[in-house]
């Protein structure tokens, strides 16, 4: 199957580079030769301390995806980036997660970073199966020896991680959402497309983190509803911070980092 990168999507990613958060990812050229296997090694691409390994794997529909794997062990964690960025946005978070004993797989969602984009893609994110990409990443970690796997996402990635947990409840053991950008917008082409639709299907404990002044995130009441709807609602939590930090920028707060780490250690 032949895949081509949508040039407009790459240009948009460059325009939104200011939203990419920590790290300065190497941007792929705007051509259809920017396939996952052409991605630089993680050490060249992202400014992370732990040495990473480039990973190429396939989504259920055959789209080739790019990832970077860090750490070892049987407790796995998939990291899902926010809109307008790629896996390098997790650079500041990776060292702490690896130090906690996690095997981390940060991924580029389809049509982002070095992951492939189907020729039929129109540029409309609601028509992309982002949640399926996360499911493939979870399977990749399990193939590599992880016996428990969690997912953590930022903004668009937070909604995607949440929906993936509802779509693959038997494969995902913990969910962390940093500023779920919307409870109603679709991040999957499957029947379960939005966070609200996925909530009651989730069997894993959920931690949602948000800022009170962040207009780009679900707020406390809605977050509480999403957590409570899951089968493990009593084990979940909502962490609310003052200010306007969004997505992975929440991890710059020591108490958020500490809470996330404790949550993952308790459930993975």
- For the chain, domains (ranges, CATH) are 7-267 (3.40.50.1820)
Q: Are 63 and 137 in contact (CB under 8 A)?
A: no
pLDDT, position 264: 98
pLDDT, position 105: 98
pLDDT, position 7: 31
6 burial level (CB within 10 Å; 0-12, 13-18, 19+): middle
Cα separation of 231 and 89, whole Å?
31
pLDDT, position 32: 44
**Residues with Cβ < 8 Å from 189, sequence gap 6 or more?**
127, 128, 129, 132
Backbone angles phi, psi at 153, to 5 degrees: -135, 160
pLDDT-flagged residues of the chain (< 70): 1-34
pLDDT, position 240: 98
pTM above 0.85?
Answer: yes
Nearest to 241 by CA among 260, 227, 225: 260
Cα separation of 173 and 231, whole Å?
12
Q: Coil, strand, or helix at residue 11?
A: helix
Q: Are 78 and 40 in contact (CB under 8 A)?
A: no
Cα separation of 47 and 54, whole Å?
14
Between the CA of residue 147 and those of 34, 75, 137, 143, 157, what are the distances in Å? Answer: 32, 6, 14, 9, 23
pLDDT, position 49: 86
pLDDT, position 224: 98
pLDDT, position 201: 98
């Amino acid at each position: 199957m032949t895949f081509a990168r949508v040039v407009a999507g790459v240009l948009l990613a460059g325009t939104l580079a200011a939203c990419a958060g920590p790290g300065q990812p190497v941007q792929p050229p705007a051509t259809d030769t920017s396939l996952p296997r052409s991605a630089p090694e993680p050490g060249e691409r992202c400014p992370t301390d732990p040495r990473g390994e480039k990973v190429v794997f396939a989504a259920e529909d055959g789209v080739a995806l790019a990832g970077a794997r860090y750490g070892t062990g049987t407790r796995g964690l998939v990291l899902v980036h926010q809109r307008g960025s790629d896996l390098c946005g997790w650079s500041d978070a990776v060292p702490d997660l690896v130090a906690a004993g996690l095997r981390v797989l940060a991924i580029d969602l389809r049509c982002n970073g070095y992951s492939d984009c189907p020729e039929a893609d129109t540029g409309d994110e609601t028509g992309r199966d982002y949640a399926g990409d996360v499911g493939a990443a979870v399977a990749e970690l399990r193939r590599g020896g992880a016996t428990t796997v969690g997912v953590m996402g930022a903004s668009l990635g937070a909604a995607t991680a949440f929906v993936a947990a509802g779509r693959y409840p038997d494969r995902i053991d913990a969910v962390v959402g940093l500023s779920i950008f919307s409870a109603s917008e679709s991040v999957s082409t499957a029947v379960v497309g939005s966070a609200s639709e996925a909530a009651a299907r989730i069997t894993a404990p959920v931690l949602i983190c948000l800022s009170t002044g962040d207009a780009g995130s679900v707020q406390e009441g809605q977050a509480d509803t999403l957590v409570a709807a899951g089968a493990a609602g009593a084990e979940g939590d909502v962490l609310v911070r003052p200010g306007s930090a969004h997505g992975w920028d929440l991890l710059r707060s020591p108490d958020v980092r500490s809470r996330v780490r404790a949550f993952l250690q308790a459930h993975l």
